[in-house]
Amino acid sequence: MKKIVIANFKMNKTPSETKQYLISFLSKYEDYKTDLILALPYTSLSIAKFMIDKREISLGAQNLCDDDEKGCTGEISGKMLADSGVSHVLVGHSERRAKFKEDSKIINKKIKNGLKNRLSIILCVGESLADKNTMKTLSTLRMQIEEALKGLYENELENLIIAYEPVWAIGSGKTPSPKEIENAVRAIRKVVEEDFSKKAAQEIRVVYGGSITPKNISKFASIEGLDGILVGGASLESSVFLQIINAMI
Ligand code: PGA
């Protein structure tokens, strides 16, 4: 099975910077070796779509509006993303949960809205440091997944990837041990099994994200049950990101 590799540029790179990045990245990246998804800022989607045309690379956005109502000044709908060539969208990233006060109700609505517009969802879940220190990692994951997936049909999970991203690991240089990730992935699959089915639990794709670098990537390349990785800061330099990708092949 090919590994999934997701880049999250966050609020980095103007369209011209994205163009420069892709000129270098695309000249060296070998398609078909991984399932690559580039989650870019809205303003870079159009240039990226043009540049990755005919390549085996998926285009992702980092957010979408939770409804299709007209009175949503400043928002971007799932329909707009789909029509821009976007196939994937991040939902529930911890920065959006914390900074933009996105609660589980909003996250659930965003997922449904994305799926309705035929977008694949990358649902981010993960415990805070306080949760970790009080042994609440697994109960937090359970709560976040159950609330996010409320009301979904089992067949919709085909279009969903769960990204395990401990809040304390994002951008901090700290990472969980392979054993901790393995336990979290097992717990995530268990929730899916209880809420949907054994088959859904086996088939759901789960990736890890948080402070991945070329130095520590070997730790994440062969964790039992893990289907790939989500890379933030280290995806911003094309040569660094390529090193990470190559370690996943
Ligand atoms: P990081 O970010 O790799 O810079 O820690 C990951 C993320 O926020 O998705």
Of the CA atoms within 13 Å of residue 73, those in its CB half-sphere come to 0
User: Does the CB atom of residue 230 touch ligand 1 within 6 A?
Assistant: yes
Does position 189 have pLDDT exceeding 90, yes or no? Answer: yes
Q: Is the minimum distance from the CB of 173 to ligand 1 under 6 angstroms?
A: no
pLDDT tens sequence across 136-185: 999 999 999 999 999 999 999 999 999 999 999 999 999 999 999 999 99
Q: How far is the CA of 8 from the centre of ligand 1 (A)?
A: 7
Give the pLDDT score at 40.
Answer: 98
In angstroms, what is the C-alpha Rg of the chain? 17
Tell me how far the alpha carbon of residue 248 lies from the centroid of ligand 1, in angstroms.
17
Decide if 214 contacts 244 (C-beta within 8 A). yes
pLDDT attached to residue 55? 96
Task: Determine if ligand 1 sits within 6 Å of the CB of residue 15.
Answer: no
Inter-CA distances, 126 with 28, 56, 138, 168, 175, Å: 33, 29, 9, 9, 12
Task: Give pLDDT tens digits for 71-109.
Answer: 899 999 999 999 999 999 999 999 999 999 999 999 999
Is 88 considered catalytic here? Answer: no
Tell me what the mean pLDDT of segment 107-123 comes to: 98
165 in active site: yes
Any atom of ligand 1 within 6 Å of the Cβ of 233? yes
Catalytic residue among 93, 95, 102, 127: 93
pLDDT of residue 69: 80
216 touches ligand 1 (CB under 6 Å)? no
Stretch 35-58: mean pLDDT? 97
Residue identifier of the C-alpha nearest atom 6 of ligand 1: 232
Q: Distance, CA 210 to ligand 1 centroid (Å)?
A: 5
Domains of the chain: 4-67+86-247 (3.20.20.70)
Instruction: State the closest ligand 1 atom to the C-alpha of 231, by its place in the atom list counted from 1.
Output: 3
Residue 248 predicted with pLDDT over 90: yes
For the CA of 172, the nearest atom of ligand 1 = 5
Q: How far is the CA of 70 from the centre of ligand 1 (A)?
A: 33
Residue 172's pLDDT is what?
A: 97
Query: What is the structure's pLDDT at 1?
Result: 85
Report how far ligand 1's centroid is from the alpha carbon of 207 (Å). Answer: 12
At 191-230, the pLDDT tens digits run: 999 999 999 999 999 999 999 999 999 999 889 999 999 9
Write the residue with the smallest CA distance to atom 3 of ligand 1: 232
Are 208 and 179 in contact by the 8 Å Cβ rule? The answer is no
Is 16's pLDDT higher than 90? yes
Q: Is the pLDDT of residue 20 over 90?
A: yes
Residue nearest to atom 1 of ligand 1 (CA): 232
Q: Tell whether the model's pLDDT for residue 70 goes beyond 90.
A: no
Give the pLDDT score at 32: 85
DSSP conformation letters of 20-47? HHHHHHHHH--TTSEEEEEE--GGGHHH
Predicted local confidence at residue 103, as pLDDT: 97
